[in-house]
């Protein structure tokens, strides 16, 4: 059984983990999973750490594709992740139904876990930019519990290091002890698409065929898993 190294953005961690056993059976490959932020993985990849499959935001995959870093035609849209709010299970659920209520939550929360923008987390970059546009970044920043990954955000809630968590809902759902409040209000919603691609390499073509065969065989299960972890099938 060949070994397949898969680097994946944290927003896809839940569905990727859930789909891996069936993928191994369908493709004949043993899978090694590596999760991190899009920014951190892009840096590793461009720096020479080339996996067999890489899952990043659609925009980054498209940009790298233009640099001829992948097997031609190997990229595939996987799904879209939605940024949302979560709390520790059993805690009071804040009202985030409107932008005004969301802003009130930010003001009243004692601590807020989010991805560290400096580490390349898409949701953290978006949240920081949003707060700066509102002119409240300096006010909220002291309350931020900056995390390297979305999973760390979720664990911050479970471990009591933060009252509120803000990142992709697909990163909260797999972590026991968290409860998703919901997505950000529609006026400020943040939805990010994710895609997979096969980096160019000596045996990439064979692995590309195996990957596509497995994806085609288990497409319904892939869609079900994406939805179960708060992601939507990409177009």
Res 202: pLDDT:
40
SS3 at position 52: coil
Could you give the CA distance from residue 130 to residue 135 in angstroms, rounded to a whole number?
Answer: 9
Domains for the chain: give ranges and CATH numbers: 2-80+193-233 (3.40.190.10), 81-188 (3.40.190.10)
Res 217: pLDDT:
47
Give the residue ranges of DSSP H helices in the chain.
Answer: 13-27, 38-46, 58-66, 99-108, 122-134, 137-140, 150-158, 169-172, 204-217, 219-228
pLDDT digits (tens, 9 = 90+) for 132-176: 999 999 999 999 999 999 999 999 999 999 999 999 999 999 899
SS3 at position 82: strand
Measuring CA to CA, which residue among 122, 212, 120, 206 is closest to residue 166? 122
Res 52: pLDDT:
87
Low-confidence ranges of the chain (pLDDT < 70): 1, 202-235
CA distances from 41 to 29, 67, 78, 92 (A): 22, 16, 17, 35
Chain-wide mean pLDDT for the chain? Answer: 86
Any residues with CB less than 8 A from the CB of 167 and at least 6 apart, and which?
11, 83, 84, 113, 114, 115, 121, 123, 124, 147, 150, 153, 154
Res 93: pLDDT:
95
Asked whether the beta carbons of 143 and 111 are under 8 A apart, the reply is: yes
Q: Which two tokens stand for residue 85?
A: 């709010």
């Amino acid at each position: 059984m060949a070994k397949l190294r898969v680097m994946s953005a944290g927003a896809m961690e839940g569905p990727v983990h859930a789909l891996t056993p069936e993928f191994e059976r369908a493709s004949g490959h043993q899978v090694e999973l590596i999760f991190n932020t899009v920014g951190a993985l892009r840096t590793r990849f461009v720096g020479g750490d080339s996996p067999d499959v890489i899952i990043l935001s659609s925009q980054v995959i498209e940009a790298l594709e233009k640099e001829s870093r992948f097997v031609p035609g190997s990229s595939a849209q996987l799904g879209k992740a939605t940024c949302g709010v979560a709390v520790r299970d059993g805690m009071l659920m804040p009202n985030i139904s409107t932008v005004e209520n969301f802003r009130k939550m930010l003001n009243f929360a004692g601590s807020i876990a989010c991805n560290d923008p400096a580490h390349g987390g898409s949701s953290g970059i978006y949240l920081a930019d949003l707060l700066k546009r509102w002119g409240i970044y300096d006010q909220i920043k002291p309350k931020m519990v900056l995390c390297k990954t979305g999973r760390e955000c979720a664990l911050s809630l479970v471990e009591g290091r933060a009252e509120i968590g803000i990142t992709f809902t697909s990163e909260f759902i797999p972590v026991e002890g968290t409860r998703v409040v919901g997505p950000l209000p529609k006026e400020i919603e943040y939805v990010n698409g994710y895609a997979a691609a096969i980096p160019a390499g000596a045996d990439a073509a064979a692995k590309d065929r195996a990957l596509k065969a497995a994806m085609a065989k288990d497409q319904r299960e892939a869609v079900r898993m994406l939805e179960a972890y708060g992601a939507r099938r990409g177009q």
